[in-house]
Amino acid sequence: MKRIFALLTLLVAGWSVACAAPALTNFTAPERVLMIDSSSMPVTAGKATLIVSPLQRTSGVYAGDFKIRVFPYFWKNKNGRLAIAVSDASLAEINQGKVTAITGTATTSGKTGKCRPVDVTVTPTDRDRGTLKVGFVVENQKMVFAPSYRVVEKEMAVVLAQTTEIHP
């Protein structure tokens, strides 16, 4: 009888651990990175394309490089650093499948080094992918891109990044 009681106690303890809230593994694990697909939007008589390198999370901020290519207006192209602040609370919402608004900055490289606020709305489709709405203002024009995203292992990010213009 004591053995059965001990066995039941162990089973109940194991079951309660298994039913606990799942860890936030998809966005927060240091070996995982955020991949944002390239996205385009129309501009007057042309097209602007946003290209983002794999973003690594450090101290609550996803950071990486970005490029904006404007065709046929090549002189309006921009390069720089993208930093998106994602709190642990926001990560929890995203992992639960909730649409979440977050903010960040896009800092242009070069002499100007202009820093622009970035508004991002995350719409997850599952724990590892979804869509974003990325908005910011460049030269008095509101730019809004709607790329897909996915969270992948760091090694996979290197392979996937080779298909874009920006490498990690």
- Number of helices (H) and strands (E) in the chain: give both, helices first: 4, 11
| Residue 104 to residue 6: CA distance in whole angstroms | 53
| Residue 53 to residue 18: CA distance in whole angstroms | 36
* Per-residue pLDDT, 155: 61
* Per-residue pLDDT, 141: 83
16-75 per-position pLDDT tens digit: 333 333 333 344 455 789 999 999 999 989 999 999 999 999 989 999 999 999 999 999
Are 35 and 130 contacting, i.e. CB atoms less than 8 angstroms apart?
no
* Per-residue pLDDT, 32: 81
Domains of the chain, residue spans = 24-161
Are 52 and 62 contacting, i.e. CB atoms less than 8 angstroms apart?
no
Hey, what CATH topology would domain 24-161 get? Answer: Lipocalin (2.40.128)
* Per-residue pLDDT, 2: 45
Give the DSSP H or E segment for 19: none
